[in-house]
């Protein structure tokens, strides 16, 4: 495991302040000399590692499906369904969302982390917002909804559900939230055209 991947894993599991440099180095099979050759300190390593992780690994899962979709409501429902059935939510149940965790821990205390997290959050919102606009143009999303507001709502629900799952450690709660969220997403679809012949 590389140094940045080890740092991202350690910070995700324990938070930035709880992450141990010695454990990061052990996971990476690296020395302190190697660390300080590339990074000034733990802060620089953590900021770079988490920024990269949120943009690449998390982005591949949560953003790439939307980049070319013109039916983002179905895309999102399918993605959430896949996350629930594939076992990918196990880490979310245990540790929560890395973006939310860091936001809660670091955004008020550290301007560097706040700016990085704000940039990643904005990227997520913009990708989903653009997918909603394509969905409107393709007739898959109601034209009377505000794509910017809905993209904010989608992320707020996603982040909040994962925080609640981590706190409650309750799989049934996740399923109830998903069902209610799917009802909301389906309400954003255009009404089915009436049969003109009767």
How many domains does the chain fold into?
Answer: 2
86 and 30 in a single domain? The answer is no
pLDDT tens for each residue of 42-90: 999 999 999 999 988 888 888 999 999 999 999 999 998 887 777 666 6
133 and 41 in a single domain? The answer is no
| Average pLDDT score over residue span 105-124 | 94
Q: Is 197 a residue whose pLDDT tops 50?
A: no
65 and 160 in a single domain? The answer is yes
| Average pLDDT score over residue span 125-142 | 97
108 and 177 in a single domain? The answer is yes
Can you list the alpha helix ranges (DSSP code H) found in the chain? 3-14, 21-28, 32-38, 42-55, 57-62, 64-67, 72-85, 89-95, 98-106, 111-138, 147-168, 171-186
The span from the CA of 15 to the CA of 106, in Å, is 9
Question: Phi and psi (nearest 5°) for 190?
Answer: -65, 150
With respect to residue 129, please indicate whether it lies within any of the assigned structural domains: yes
pLDDT at 37: 86
pLDDT at 88: 63
Q: Is 194 a residue whose pLDDT tops 60?
A: no
With respect to residue 198, please indicate whether it lies within any of the assigned structural domains: no
The model's pTM is 0.85
Domain extent at residue 19: 1-49
CATH number, domain containing residue 114: 1.10.357.10
- Distances, alpha carbon 91 to alpha carbons 79, 83, 87, 95, 163, in Å: 16, 11, 8, 6, 12
106 and 9 in a single domain? The answer is no
Q: Is 117 a residue whose pLDDT tops 70?
A: yes
CATH number, domain containing residue 33: 1.10.10.60
Instruction: Return the closest-CA partner of residue 24 out of 40, 7, 47.
Output: 7
Q: Is 110 a residue whose pLDDT tops 90?
A: yes
Q: Is 93 a residue whose pLDDT tops 70?
A: no
Confidence grade of residue 177 (pLDDT, cut at 50, 70, 90): confident
pLDDT at 91: 62
């Amino acid at each position: 495991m590389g140094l940045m991947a080890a740092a991202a894993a350690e910070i995700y599991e324990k938070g930035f302040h709880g992450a141990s440099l010695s454990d990061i180095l052990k996971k990476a099979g690296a020395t302190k000399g190697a660390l300080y050759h590339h990074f000034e300190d733990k802060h620089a390593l953590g900021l770079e590692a988490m920024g990269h992780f949120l943009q690449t690994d998390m982005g591949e899962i949560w953003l790439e499906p939307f980049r070319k979709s013109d039916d983002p409501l179905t895309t999102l429902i399918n993605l959430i369904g896949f996350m629930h059935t594939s076992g990918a939510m196990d880490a979310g149940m245990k540790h929560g969302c890395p973006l939310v965790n860091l936001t809660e821990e670091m955004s008020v205390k550290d301007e560097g982390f706040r700016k990085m997290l704000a940039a990643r959050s904005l990227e997520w919102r913009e990708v989903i917002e653009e997918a909603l606009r394509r969905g409107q143009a393709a007739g898959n999303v109601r034209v009377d909804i505000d794509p910017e507001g809905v993209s904010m709502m989608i992320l707020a629900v996603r982040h909040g559900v994962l925080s609640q799952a981590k706190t409650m450690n309750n799989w049934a709660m996740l399923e109830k939230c998903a069902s209610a969220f799917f009802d909301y997403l389906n309400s954003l679809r255009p009404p089915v055209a009436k049969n003109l012949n009767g």
